[in-house]
Structure 1
């Protein structure tokens, strides 16, 4: 009898501990985490792993998709595109996949849209038909597949609404992820012939507002993900795109300011720190820009704090830790700048090729290459490598954090890495 009581108390203690851990865990609801800028507050993340070591689970994900995973409670969500023929076929089932966080088991995968030969648009060889990352408010999931459609689903996969009103001709496929702003879902749509920013009503999927970007250039397409910031107590949506980055009112989309540059196929998500917006301009030669977002109208000549054109990334987003700004170029050159002045502090070749955005967690910076190797460094004014770990599988998706573990998506599998 006493043994039974002790066992019951132990079980109860474990349940209370697990519940408290879940309550304390941060929410990884969107691309690049809680702030959208690649920061995690979690501790004790792993620094060593391999395809067989410190792998809590790995699960085959059907189809192909380069969206990053998100975590909602005890579930993980990723989008994917599944074809009965091949990954290059125009016939694609655009799906949302839900996994159990603890076991990695697929709980369900559901088709949200179906792409046919008639509706398909050509994608870049490095892109997928499911590249935008889902986003959640903890109650529902929003998914976006470019012009093919946007949808809201319950956490159990039931469709609340679907829309394909955001029509535009994509170039190289879809890319930018949506963000939640109050009662709206905001999406940048920079296509081959049309450039606009749209807000959908989160409850109905109807267009709440739509703002044309009026870009006059031969190559109009980009793949930006907006960032919500607050400047002088007022919210604004920062939207990077072809030849311009701009700040907009969440209420009606009205432009607050814009800064012109030369660049297209813009992929990195902006970050905001030290009163500055940091963004890169992608092709043909990327520039790193530090912009003061407190202006009005055209601020091209007045609000650029500093810029740099040396070994700047086309694809990976930037990262600020303390007073330093970190980047890794597509060709594997990592750099550290003074965030306030733009002074180069150090430059190091880490090797490999890069598309995924870096992560800062538990006092460490994680860079993940397209070849599946993660280089971990200590932030600071000197380059200090902590370790390297290789999954030996291609990956372009960015990290997600779940408690004291990492979620890493390769081309065919999703890994949960722990200590």
Structure 2
């Protein structure tokens, strides 16, 4: 059903848990899980194996390795009103924002079986950090985990590497700075010995790679596409996707107004493609099959685009669909179908070959989290704390709608026959009937 030949298989570990969830949107970064026997219905009083209140505030999606889950979070100290007013004079936008005196950026480890918090570790402490949009958080980019290492990125506030065995911070890098305007949002991608990260601010726009062993900058490539005059329309919060294009590993990188391809070892720009319409402030990650990449251009004149790359030196647009394009939620592939939900709760199912919509239906609620595909179903999580379950099929049907206390900004993860959901209050393991 799923064409995953481009990407790595699930990593097996020696513990009782067979699957890992190493990054936002899982293995391969496309929101697809091999988990089976997942629950369809639950509530605060039914189907919850455990619920753990988390310290601080954050929107990052949990990652999992072996018997442990890890999340990032932020402990906030509010700025005095007069200090906030002084600092906001540099703000070029008019969005509602949160201003802090300081923030402690942390990694929290949770036991997968019991939900017990095992570690709560400060990675970075930042004085007078940039403000963030009130819909955003100071810990929105998701961490990446591999055997023995956790990589946590917080935009201009810094990036850190944690030894998950000793709980010691191996390195920190706070040298790379941009003006986010609305706070950090881009999650890195890990490729061989490179941690590849977007830095698309209102002041400057580039992509960079850090050495994962030392945190030192390996390469930095400035965006070459023409930018809009309005600085608010230059910023972006997208996450790259690693794809093998015609035998070559390629970083598919969504930025304001342009989709880029880069060589991951050197940062060389391989190609770029204009959206054709205004597109900026995206917080999405593309998805791809063995011939096309699919992406939403988010704010501006929103559209979902299919970009054909198979057999082409320079990718080209195969189709566009400008109805109910998501501004914050990434799409998910299920064979020859593409599913996505817009911010207002309209779910679309389209043919990947043509972009033709098979249906558009209302789920209800508002959405920021990205859906996942698992066990033949698609799970959509809303800001109101409702997870809607539909079949990954051509006909629309709501199998269940399940409500938890607290809003869902983080994306679900699915492994070991269970769902793990992070609300703005707690982390849940949903398992059983």
The verdict on a shared fold, with TM-score over 0.5 as the criterion, is yes
Q: Give yes or no for the alignment of 1:234 onto 2:248.
A: yes
Q: Give yes or no for the alignment of 1:224 onto 2:238.
A: yes
Whole-Å separation in 2 of the counterparts to 1:324 and 1:26? 25
Whole-Å separation in 1 of the counterparts to 2:268 and 2:348? 36
Aligned to 1:4: none
> Is the contact made by 1:198 and 1:210 (CA closer than 8 Å) also made in structure 2?
yes
Q: Give yes or no for the alignment of 1:142 onto 2:135.
A: no
Q: Give yes or no for the alignment of 1:110 onto 2:103.
A: no
Corresponding residue SS for 2:355: coil
Q: Which one of the candidate residues 101, 108, 113 is aligned to 1:97?
A: 108
Q: Give yes or no for the alignment of 1:194 onto 2:210.
A: no
Whole-Å separation in 1 of the counterparts to 2:423 and 2:197? 26
Aligned to 1:69: 62
Corresponding residue SS for 1:353: coil
Whole-Å separation in 2 of the counterparts to 1:343 and 1:279? 15
Q: Which one of the candidate residues 50, 59, 67 is aligned to 2:52?
A: 59
Aligned to 2:304: 288
Aligned-residue CA RMSD (Å): 1.5
- 1:80 deviates by 0.5
> Is the contact made by 2:308 and 2:317 (CA closer than 8 Å) also made in structure 1?
yes
Whole-Å separation in 1 of the counterparts to 2:136 and 2:37? 33
Whole-Å separation in 2 of the counterparts to 1:311 and 1:364? 21
- 1:220 deviates by 1.1
> Is the contact made by 1:247 and 1:293 (CA closer than 8 Å) also made in structure 2?
no
Structure possessing the higher radius of gyration over alpha carbons: 1
Q: Which one of the candidate residues 30, 39, 47 is aligned to 1:37?
A: 30
Whole-Å separation in 1 of the counterparts to 2:270 and 2:155? 26
5+ residue gaps in structure 2? 1-12, 80-97
Map 1:262-273 onto structure 2 (within 5 A): 262-273=278-289
Aligned to 2:138: 129
Structure 1 residues 256 and 377: alpha-carbon distance in aligned structure 2, compared to 1, 3 A threshold: same
- 1:344 deviates by 1.0
Aligned to 1:276: 292
Aligned to 1:360: 373
Whole-Å separation in 2 of the counterparts to 1:374 and 1:277? 27
Corresponding residue SS for 2:157: coil
- 1:394 deviates by 1.0
Aligned to 2:404: 391
Query: CA offsets, 1:142-176, max 9 Å, x none?
Result: 00010111111111321111111211111100001
Segments ≥4 residues shifted beyond 6 Å: none
Whole-Å separation in 1 of the counterparts to 2:101 and 2:236? 22
Whole-Å separation in 2 of the counterparts to 1:402 and 1:281? 30
- 1:139 deviates by 2.4
Corresponding residue SS for 1:326: strand
Q: Which moved more, 1:346-355 or 1:153-162?
A: 153-162
Query: CA offsets, 1:239-291, max 9 Å, x none?
Result: 00101111110111111111112211011100001410000111123110100
Aligned to 1:153: 162
Structure 1 residues 402 and 90: alpha-carbon distance in aligned structure 2, compared to 1, 3 A threshold: farther
Whole-Å separation in 2 of the counterparts to 1:274 and 1:378? 23
Q: Give yes or no for the alignment of 1:330 onto 2:340.
A: no
Whole-Å separation in 1 of the counterparts to 2:14 and 2:121? 29
Corresponding residue SS for 1:166: coil
Q: Give yes or no for the alignment of 1:170 onto 2:163.
A: no
Whole-Å separation in 1 of the counterparts to 2:185 and 2:414? 21
- 1:21 deviates by 4.2
Whole-Å separation in 2 of the counterparts to 1:281 and 1:289? 8
Aligned residue pair count: 394
Q: Give yes or no for the alignment of 1:179 onto 2:193.
A: no
Whole-Å separation in 2 of the counterparts to 1:173 and 1:203? 26
Q: Which one of the candidate residues 300, 320, 323 is aligned to 2:333?
A: 320
Whole-Å separation in 2 of the counterparts to 1:274 and 1:232? 9
